[in-house]
Homo-oligomer: A and B are copies of this chain.
């Protein structure tokens, strides 16, 4: 399940290092990767507890063990650090969701279930990253805000495409609401946004995925046999 990509923080930092080779002044990749990993991990931890704005670079310096000046070898401003993290989340979503496995191609129901299951599982593996993106995407300069909106619409477009395909094939009801694709996203987000609540209630990730899949199918499926057709992804 979901081994098409490595979504550990270290793997994501490798992408990050590659993407910002020009602004990162540390040359040797071995040094850079190890330190960037520590910095990003600390930044996600602190931000998700107090908020990105409330996290001072002195906090980050202390938590990561990297000096103030040392931090600026990896980003040229605090806003750049924000952008680096947000970009990586967007890129990961695109990478994972745009490549459905062969077995779901051409089967709208299976594809829809795969999208739901994969998205939830991805947010589970990248939990600090998604929490960060969700909490910090708002209240920020227009440029960053736009990126967040684009990322949001990208996810929605995957669902919209599958729903449209299913309706064309007669698998989904022709009167399926055009708003459905938009409404799936908040259902998926709730798993990591209200993480503590679901953990407290002992709701497993598989239960959650199955519930959302049923919920969505009840809204769009033509017949009522969806419970048998549910894929475990």
Contact = CB atoms under 8 A, between A and B. Distances in A.
A49 B142 CA distance: 10
A179 interface: yes
Contact of A214 (B138, B177, B215): B177
A79 to B, nearest CB: 12
Interface string A199-228: 000010001100110110011000000000
Interface of A: 49-51, 53-54, 135, 138-140, 149, 152, 177, 179-180, 182-183, 185-187, 189-190, 193-194, 197-198, 203, 207-208, 211-212, 214-215, 218-219
Given A51-B139, A218-B219, 4 more contacts: A179-B207, A180-B211, A182-B198, A185-B190
9 contacts: A50-B139, A51-B140, A54-B139, A152-B194, A177-B215, A179-B203, A182-B197, A183-B215, A186-B186
